[in-house]
Structure 1
Amino acid sequence: MRNDSEIFKKILTGFVTEEDPLLAMMKWMMDQLMQIEAQMKVGAAKGEHGSERKSHFSGYRPRRFDTRLGTVYLMIPKIRRGGYIPFFVTEKRRSEQALIAMVKEAYVNGVSTRKIERLAKELGIENISASQVSQINKGLDEQVEEFRNRPLQKEYPFIWVDALYEKVRNHEDRVVSTAIMIAYGVTIEGNREVLAIEPFVSESTETWKSFFDRLKARGVEKIALLISNAHQGIQKAFKQSFIGASWQRCKVHFMRNILAHGPHRAKEKFAARLKSIWLQEYREDALQIAQMIIDEYDKKFPEAIEVLQNGLENSLQFYHFPQIDKRRISSTNVLERINKEIRRRSKVVSVFPSRESYLRLIATYLMEYTENWESERSYI
């Protein structure tokens, strides 16, 4: 008994030197509980042989776990058959996480606090009030603002920008179309990151200039290549804000612009020919294919060919970065996929009650994306 007491005392003394003793103590306890629970599920300790063994350990997986004391990063044991999730994670997901998620989702979707309170009671959750909902929402807003205003790195080789539009009720109680401008970038290390989420009434040279200036104010000094659609405001503002950087016109949007001027009956064949331009290994080959298409279709589709000639050079800027997979930086597809997911969630709200609620929904979703990317391997 005395020996056990001494061991326990030594363990507790070790926590005193930690930056956050209570958080460190809780993490240690979680690690011990995971070890015990995983061994019970496997039927034996790691490396131990026995007739009671039901499965085997297969390394660990990292998992972020948010608690009232702070955030901890757990190394959860992986089990070959049956899998394993710690009981305290599933319990939190069923109770506190479910409650907070419901409150946040409902609130960002414009549901009033009183309605949320009634909904919570219908689900069997009694201990929640309108003031608690407001407090949770306040905490969410603080996280959003911290994320949107965080300092950025000095250099992002590649940045993608785009704007989302939703119907939002303004302060005059009118429903208006509101833009949320988004910047997504890749760091020097090749990791993905959502850089900016800014609301504006409309897209213009002035608003995009303000958007890029805000990126600079947060620390961005150098961009090698900006990828976007051909919005005039983006082009003009970017040239003014980041002198010496290149602009890549999204090849997918560019193809759509060209095909809009071609007859429908010949669109499939024409599109296949156009697509071959950007599939070439080298820029010289792409230019050669483009010239062949221009010669072939100049008289058939003069308007479409004019669009191709005027925008071709800007659509080939990715060839100046031969060390990078051209599929990654030749279009805004990577941003389009994120936007599609955002729209899938936002379409359930026909009209957002305020610009703040719209911004909150998008920002929280993009924050989750950025956090998930932190544990993934490099994008480029």
Structure 2
Amino acid sequence: MAYPNSTVPFEKMLMKFVTEEDPMQAMLKWLCERLMEAEVDAKLGAEKSERSTERQGYRSGYRVRRFDTRMGTLYLMVPKLRNGGYIPFFVEAKKRSELALMNVIQEAYVNGVSTRKIEKLTKSLGIDSMSRSQVSSIAKELNEQVEAFRNRNLDKVYPVLWVDALYEKIRDDRRVKNMAVLIVTGIDLEGKRDILAVEPM
């Protein structure tokens, strides 16, 4: 992901070296950054580079913010506003934010995620100003990312495979139940570990 408006070149270098291979972690990072972009658009009354008479301010690049989660440390690109005043949702309620985000990512892998689920997520994070089109776009893109991961080509050779199952609480037809999620990890010929599949059982 490129950040052309970042005002600090070091931030781009940092992002290059801390990119995670774990698809679940990468998706969590994407969702956090996508929600922040939508929240800032709503706060300013206009999208990035959009000319609008309703605009209430301007962006001023990005800053890196650390977000520690149970899936590891994320380094997020947080939008800056020219006049300040933007505090991302995960700063004010870290534990609640992480749990809500993880539930959405897990459901995306198991059942796909609906517009209603994204709306519920944004409300739980205290984001009240997102439009229906923004919510719909995030749900669509998240489902597309899951499908792209599932259908990608595996071009490397993996002489070693690890198969494990995690039990997670998943909402199904208004009921919460335990479901096993199968995780397949491969080690390639250079000893590098890749997550190959994340599938419900």
TM-score by length of 2: 0.45
TM-score by length of 1: 0.27
Greater helix fraction, Structure 1 or Structure 2? 1
Greater strand fraction, Structure 1 or Structure 2? 2
Rg comparison, structure with higher value: 1
